[in-house]
Amino acid sequence: MVVIANPRRQNRAAFRSWSVNAVKTILIVDDKLSALRLLTDYLTEHGFRTITAANGREALYVARHEKPDLVLLDLMMPEMDGLEFMRLFRRERSTPVIMLTARVEEADKVVGLELGADDYVTKPFGMAELVARIRAVLRRAAETPTVNDILRVGGVVVDKGTHIVRVDERKIDLTPSEFSLLTVLMTIPGQVFTRAQLLERLKGDENVERTIDVHIRNLRAKIEPDPSKPRYILTVFGVGYRFNDEGDER
């Protein structure tokens, strides 16, 4: 089942305040029809186009064909749960994902972040907060700095205009959160950033500094030749992280 909200139901004032050249498409994945209807109605009223899926397997099919700008993902679902969806989806696309979960254990949230989620919201949640988080994540994904703004340190090259990252000429797919962190670290190579400073850059995430450790671990797995012996993103114990301004192994 794929449901596309009627765009005539949009709140035009809200849409004008958010519009960034095109209506953003949100894929809502939840096995509860009541939740799908509630989220569809609210997000449509706030200027988004919505499509839905009832489980992870259906969501993969919809995402491949509709190419949404962001996925709202429930974790507890039949057939294929949200975590299994994340494992498969992240092999194909770096589309932003916000997890919707009733699980309060930190371990569950960490697993989702390790699989590549950009943010999470614990149920029950306020709809206004959810919209704010969606907009924050979409802003990170759509940042367009000045043209030809290239960051190059050692074998890592970041094109901030096209959001393309290459390591030793190999293209690397990063989530918006990973891209934002890498950009911050590479903008001033050698400078130590605390977890709090990096967390401030990820404005859509909850105020949990362990979130940064998870994103850094994911980032290292993608760009480091040997993540167990980082060459680029170095840990400054008791403080935070810095990007190696020499790019040499240490």
Asked if the structure places residue 72 within a domain, the reply is yes
Q: Are residues 42 and 72 in the same domain?
A: yes
User: What's the chain's average pLDDT?
Assistant: 82
Q: Are 75 and 156 contained in the same domain? A: no
- Report the alpha-carbon distance of residue 35 to residue 130 in Å, rounded: 13
**Segments in 90-175 forming alpha helices (H):** 106-114, 127-142
Residue 177: the pLDDT is: 85
The Cα-based distances of 214 to 86, 115, 184, 199, 210 in angstroms read: 15, 9, 16, 12, 7
Last residue of a domain, one of 85, 120, 142: 142
| 17 and 138 part of one domain | yes
Q: How far is CA 153 from CA 144, 168, 231, in A?
A: 20, 11, 11
249 domain-assigned: no
Rounded to an integer, what distance in angstroms lies between the CA atom of residue 88 and that of residue 77?
15
For residues 134 and 201, state if they share a domain.
no
pLDDT in tens, 209-242: 568 888 999 999 999 999 999 999 999 998 999 9
Q: Are 40 and 3 in contact (CB under 8 A)?
A: yes
Same domain, 114 and 24: yes
Query: C-alpha 236: how far from its chain's center?
Result: 25
Q: Which domain holds residue 137?
A: 7-142
- Site of tokens 């993103």: 233
Q: Are residues 160 and 133 in the same domain?
A: no
pLDDT in tens, 116-144: 888 888 888 899 999 999 999 998 877 64
In sequence order, what are the residues at sequence separation of 6 or more whose Cβ sits closer than 8 angstroms to the Cβ of residue 181?
Answer: 198, 201, 202, 212, 215, 216, 219
- Asked whether residue 2 is domain-assigned, the answer is no
The beta strand positions in 41-129, using DSSP E, are: 49-53, 70-74, 97-101, 119-122
The CATH number linked to 211 is 1.10.10.10
Q: Is the domain of 155 the same as that of 38?
A: no
User: 220 lies in a domain?
Assistant: yes
- 41-48 average pLDDT score: 95
Structure tokens at 127: 């709809």
Asked if pLDDT for residue 147 goes beyond 80, the answer is: no
Question: Domain check: are 81 and 37 in the same one?
Answer: yes
Listed ranges 26-30, 107-111, 143-147; the one with the highest mean pLDDT: 26-30
Q: Are residues 22 and 135 in the same domain?
A: yes
Last residue in a domain, options 91, 118, 142: 142
The pTM assigned to this predicted structure is: 0.58
80 and 154 assigned to the same domain: no
Residue for token pair 């449509």: 44
Number of domains the chain contains? 2
The domain that holds 95 is classified in CATH as 3.40.50.2300
Question: Is 194 a residue whose pLDDT tops 50?
Answer: yes
CB atoms within 10 A of CB 110: 17
Whether 229 and 164 share a structural domain: yes
Residues 176 and 94 in one domain: no
SS3 98: strand
- Assess if residue 250 is contained within a domain: no
Residue ending a domain, among 119, 142, 165, is: 142
